[in-house]
Amino acid sequence: MERRHFLNVTGAGLAASLLAACGGGGSDPSAESAAPQPAMDRSTRPAVNTGAKSRVIVIGGGMGGATVAKYLRLWGDAIDVTLVERMTTYTSSIMSSMVLTGQRTMSSLSFNYDTLRSKYGVKTVFGEVVAIDPVGVKVTLADGTILTADRIVMAPGISFDAVPGLGTSDKMPHAWQAGPQTALLARQLNAMASGLNHNVVLTIPKTPYRCPPGPYERACLIADWLKVKKPGSRLIVLDANPGIVTEVDNFTSAFMGVHGNVIDYHPNAEVTQVDPATMSLITTAGTFRGDVINMIPRQRAGALVTTAGLNNATEGRFAGVNVLSYASTVSGADKVHIIGDASATTQPKAGHIANQEAKVCADAVSRILSGGSPDPAPVTNSACFSTITMSQASWLTAVFQYNPAWTNPATSITGPAMVPVAASSAASTGWNSDSFEDMGKWFNALMSDSFA
């Protein structure tokens, strides 16, 4: 298929299906009509091909890494792409809270790299990256292998702060990186006795953390599940933030309304110490005990970002990037690009955004490697569904546009940023079963775009 045609059709089709999924079930039609086609129409790309085969190493094969590897192969003229990932199978964190309520299996969240290899020619190396040389553009694996390239794209996701007192105990799983901890937390919930004296505790870390609505939607799901499976038991939500951080109307209404007799919400409750032996948490709002504790710690970029010295933003927690190309803003490290949750941008840490950042990055890197410059006006979008009950969901959509001189109202600092476009962003008022169904379609479209 002719390349430009293929890109336009594929890109438009995905954006339309994502936005249609988001917008279905009584959404704001203006959000759909304003939908951009971010980094997808590449008709303006300079047609320069030096003939040399460029090499890119992608570190991390999650939402950001899988997408950037695929689109580098699609959009880069003969770019040789090697994806390095520690696991042979990726487990999606998106939808993983539904494993806790028995509505999803872990295997339904598993994705492999076969199609990236067979259909797009991505080379895969399974192993742990232990170091990178940002200047020499080299990657070192745990087995001593050294890979070299013209560019590195890092998408290592997040790592967690140590929780004081927890040590290596598995009694308070975070289940915030889907995998064994998700299955463990599901088992703990199932094994809990029911009744007034048997409660679950869920903690929410300070922002910025992975998936802003995620802990609130998990709270709603667990609360709904407790009503049926553990009648009389309550869910104590300890939020380190001063209040609900996103979709405030819907979550406030859910916490106080439909789940009012189950959820006990405490803002400004930051965990300072835990004791797995007594299953208690000391917080800035008092001490709490639970039979099951879902302890979600504070987060930072995947460890490799810090090892490489690229954690120059958000008080050293995340990687500062130029959002035209996602190149590191650390001096001398501009051949390393960082996308997804590990990067510090004004966009939420979400899988849909990681997919979008990956496309902007793939476009920029392929332009740079063929002698051009990144698109000067990228646009990204994000669709997000939140489960409010086990069968109903709310939704939120946002469009972000590049602004070279945006003044952050919180800090008064002016600089380039991806800024939400108010007129193209919308949220549902309330929740319903149609949106729950659309959530499944949105998930399938997103995962196909990243892995198939």
Ligand X SMILES: Cc1cc2nc3c(=O)[nH]c(=O)nc-3n(C[C@H](O)[C@H](O)[C@H](O)COP(=O)(O)OP(=O)(O)OC[C@H]3O[C@@H](n4cnc5c(N)ncnc54)[C@H](O)[C@@H]3O)c2cc1C
For binding to ligand X (CB under 6 A), which residues are involved? 59-65, 84-87, 90, 93-94, 96-97, 128-129, 155-157, 176, 210-211, 214, 218, 302, 304, 340-342, 349-352, 354, 384
Residue placing its CB nearer to ligand X in the complex, 370 or 384: 384
Least CB distance to ligand X at residue 225 (A) = 15
Residue placing its CB nearer to ligand X in the complex, 25 or 370: 25
Least CB distance to ligand X at residue 302 (A) = 5
Q: Burial, 316: exposed, middle or buried (Cβ in 10 Å; 0-12, 13-18, 19+)?
A: exposed
- At 431, the amino acid letter reads W
For residues 231 and 449, what is the distance between their CA atoms, to the nearest angstrom? 41
Residue placing its CB nearer to ligand X in the complex, 153 or 370: 153
Residues in CB range of 42: below 8 A, 6 or more apart: 4, 7, 75, 363
Least CB distance to ligand X at residue 274 (A) = 20
For ligand X, the nearest residue by Cβ is 62
Nearest to 363 by CA among 382, 381, 377: 377
Least CB distance to ligand X at residue 155 (A) = 4
- At 63, the amino acid letter reads M
Residue placing its CB nearer to ligand X in the complex, 192 or 383: 383
Residue placing its CB nearer to ligand X in the complex, 129 or 390: 129
Give one word for 371, left, alpha or beta, with left for phi > 0 and alpha for psi -120 to 50. Answer: left
Sign (positive or negative) of CA dihedral 226, 99, 441, 361: positive
Q: Tell me how crowded residue 429 is: count the other CB atoms within 10 A of its CB.
A: 11
Least CB distance to ligand X at residue 46 (A) = 29
Sign (positive or negative) of CA dihedral 285, 287, 291, 292: positive
Least CB distance to ligand X at residue 126 (A) = 8
Residue placing its CB nearer to ligand X in the complex, 205 or 351: 351
Least CB distance to ligand X at residue 410 (A) = 22
Which DSSP string corresponds to 386-416?
EESSSS-EEEEEEEEEEEEEEEPTTT--EEE
The residue with tokens 């962003």 is 425
- At 286, the amino acid letter reads G
Residue placing its CB nearer to ligand X in the complex, 177 or 199: 177
